[in-house]
Amino acid sequence: MEGIVAKRIDSAYEPGKRSGAWVKYKINQGQEFVIRGYTPGNPFDALIVGYYEGEKLIYVAKVRNGFVPALRREVFQKFKGLEARICSFDNLPEKRRTQWALTSEQMKECRWLRPKLVAQIEFTSWTADNHLRHSKFVVLREDKEPGEVVRES
């Protein structure tokens, strides 16, 4: 179940129309993830995030949503001094190309960071390939250590 629908008691269903008489409220999941890189943009396009599985860092999403320009600049400032030369996700590059995947060709454009920042991310669900569906940045988590970030059940 992805949420609930609220409607005015006197309203009728109108196929193909959005009258405002019916409103859908989605229920999102959320947890923290380690920021390990980003895709370039103004100043960045998407965060590249994952979680730890033992010693392995597992890639799960490129997170684009949830930013206004001022917040994007504020988060980008936190990247200073964290630049890294290589990607340390243990499950990249991905061979199968999907909208959530990071292939070796796409990885050439990515900028990598040391795993020092943690972000709270909302999402609707997990895909069969262990990626986040409809992910959205919420906030940086300064109270969490990156090594503590694991996939929540």
36 exposed, middle or buried (CB, 10 Å; 0-12, 13-18, 19+)? buried
Q: How do residues 76-126 score in pLDDT, each as one tens digit?
A: 999 999 999 999 999 999 988 888 889 999 999 999 999 999 999 999 999
- Rounded-to-integer distance, Cα 49 and Cα 138, Å: 13
- Strand partners for 63: 47
Q: What is the pLDDT of residue 1?
A: 67
So what's the pLDDT on residue 62?
Answer: 97
Find the CATH number of the domain harbouring 82. Answer: 2.40.50.140
Evaluate whether residue 153 is within a structural domain. no
Residue 18 lies in a domain: no
Q: Residue 140 CB: number of other CB atoms within 10 A?
A: 17
Is 17 domain-assigned? no
> Based on the structure, what is the number of domains in the chain?
1
In a domain, 91, yes or no: yes
Q: Does the CA dihedral 133-128-120-117 come out positive or negative? A: negative
How sure is the predictor about 14, in pLDDT bands with cuts at 50, 70 and 90?
Answer: confident
**pLDDT score for 12:** 87
User: What predicted TM-score, i.e. pTM, was given to this entire model?
Assistant: 0.85
Domain with 36 in it: 28-148
Return the minimum-mean-pLDDT range out of 48-52, 94-98, 142-146.
94-98
